[in-house]
Structure 1
Amino acid sequence: MTSSPSPETADLKRRYQWQCRRGASEVEVVLYAYLERFFDTDTPQQQAAFGRLLECEDVDMLDWFTGHGQPEDPELREFVAGMLRRVATTS
């Protein structure tokens, strides 16, 4: 049985859903996959890193998500790498 996210997490997730809307559908697919599958159970630090990721430009995220670059920030680079590994799994 899975537990419901806290009201604060649910509010944050709703806000982030709007921020996941992007001009590049390839970016949207990754962002929404993470948000729907992992956000509720991630740590506050991971949720905050996702919020920081949403502040980035679409073109940068597209490069990162397609393996053509990495974030300069080490913490964001680690989060993106982990997020991509998790989103790529099919469970």
Structure 2
Amino acid sequence: MVDDIELNRLFWHSRRGMLELDVLLVPFVREVYAHLDAEDQARYRKLLACEDQDMFGWFMQREEPEDPDLRRMVKMILDRVQPK
């Protein structure tokens, strides 16, 4: 169970100041994070520790993270917003 303090902290860390990242990360943390298992929650927190420019390249699908945990999280976030 995720407490409100953690969710609030993650919400603010998800606001990167780059619109392209904000529109992906903020809704994800609001709508999905609390329902993830502990491993995926840890992967999301690991993603937030990455540089904005790296995340931008990953989410714009210009490159992929080398780390399989980060690759899984990027795919999970992109799958939410891309048409099937």
Structure-to-structure mapping, 1:26-37, within 5 angstroms: 26-37=20-31
1:23–1:58 Cα contact (<8 Å) kept:
no
Structure 1 residue runs of 5 or longer lacking an equivalent are: 1-5
Tell me the equivalent position of 1:21: 15
Tell me the equivalent position of 1:67: 61
Q: How many angstroms apart in 1 are the aligned matches of 2:81 and 2:37?
A: 16
The total of aligned residue pairs comes to 83
Tell me the equivalent position of 1:46: 40
Q: Which residue identity lines up with residue 82 of structure 1 in the other structure?
A: M
Percent identity between matched residues is 35
RMSD: 1.5
TM-score, normalization by structure 1: 0.80
1:21–1:28 Cα contact (<8 Å) kept:
yes
CA shift, 1:36, in A, is 1.4
Rg bigger for which structure? 1
